[in-house]
Amino acid sequence: MKNAALFIVDVQNDFLPGGALAVPRGDEVIAPINRLQEKFELVLASKDWHPATTKHFEKWPPHCIRGTYGAKFPESLNISSIQKVFLKGTGVSDDGYSAFEATNDDLESYLKIRGISKLYVVGLATDYCVLATAVKAAENGFEVYVVKDAVRAVNLQPGDEDKAFEKMKQNGVQIISLEEV
Ligand code: VGL
Ligand code: ZN
């Protein structure tokens, strides 16, 4: 697809069943994400990449501590096409939900330099990092699509997933199915 990139948010062991901050049915995003990658010339990803001590862990159980197994991509995710991984949540006080807060590279300029105007967002979790990344991308002027079959929510409160989709729509993000990509 021309001028488009697939952006895989935080598909890491700690967010999968059995992980430190398991997203219910989080593993179900992997097969559709593997399939989708073939359609894109540019595939990018983010990782939640926390220090061992951070204010973020006052809100959440410790997860995705940089360099640990929990922060790794799962074996079942095809990573051979991922051209760059953006590391976020790297500070001791910020949540870093949005991939545009990555500290190893600037995502906005990375995309703009390469002429990317459309961003297809998939991964975990719908109500946190997918939400923050998709809304920020729309604010930054990208045409943003979230593929609903390839995202899953934490749902700390029942309904958080629906609220997240609503918020994305209000911000101009289009929610589409796998077949619509
Ligand atoms: C996330 C909660 C805490 C996410 C990261 O990737 O959506 N959620 N840290
Ligand atoms: Zn986190």
Banded pLDDT at 165 (limits 50, 70, 90): very high
Q: Which atom of ligand 1 is nearest to the CA of 95?
A: 9
The DSSP secondary-structure symbol of 62 reads S
Q: Which CATH number fits domain 4-180: 3.40.50.1820, 3.40.109.10, 3.30.70.20, 3.40.50.850?
A: 3.40.50.850
> For residue 59, which of 102, 97, 9 has the smallest C-alpha distance?
97
Ligand 1 binding pocket includes 48 (Cβ within 6 Å): yes
Looking only at the bridges linking them, the beta strands covering 82-88 and 174-176 are: unpaired
Give, as residue ranges, everything with CB less than 5 Å from ion ligand 2: 48, 89
User: How many helices (H) does the chain have, and how many strands (E)?
Assistant: 4, 6
What's the pLDDT score for residue 181? 97
| Helices 160-170 + 131-139 axis angle, to 10 | 10
pLDDT tier for residue 101 given thresholds of 50, 70 and 90: very high
* H-type alpha helices, 23-155: 30-36, 107-113, 131-139
**pLDDT confidence tier of residue 21, bands split at 50, 70 and 90:** very high
Phi, psi of 14 (to 5 degrees): -65, -20
- pLDDT band, very low/low/confident/very high, at 39 (cuts 50, 70, 90): very high
Active-site residue numbers? 10, 88, 129
User: pLDDT exceeding 70 applies to what percent of the chain?
Assistant: 100
Element (H, E) at 175: strand 174-176
64 alpha carbon – ligand 1 mean position (Å) = 9
pLDDT for res 104: 98
pLDDT at residue 113 in the model? 97
pLDDT tens digits, one per residue of 52-75: 999 999 999 999 999 999 999 999
Q: What is the pLDDT of residue 51?
A: 98
Does ligand 1 have an atom closer than 6 angstroms to the CB of 29? no
**Residue the block writes with tokens 């991984």:** 85
Residue ranges of the domains in the chain? 4-180
pLDDT bin (cut points 50, 70, 90) of residue 40 is very high
Q: Give Cα separations from 114 to 2, 55, 67, 106, 136 (angstroms).
A: 11, 35, 29, 13, 18
Q: Integer distance in angstroms from the first to the last C-alpha of the chain?
A: 10
What is the pLDDT of the chain when averaged over all its residues? Answer: 98
What SS3 state is found at 144? strand
Instruction: Retrieve residue 45's tokens.
Output: 């990803």
Confidence of residue 155 (pLDDT cuts 50, 70, 90): very high
Mutation choice for ligand 1 from 9, 47, 98, 154, CB with most ligand atoms inside 8 A: 154
- pLDDT band of residue 95 (cuts 50, 70, 90) is very high
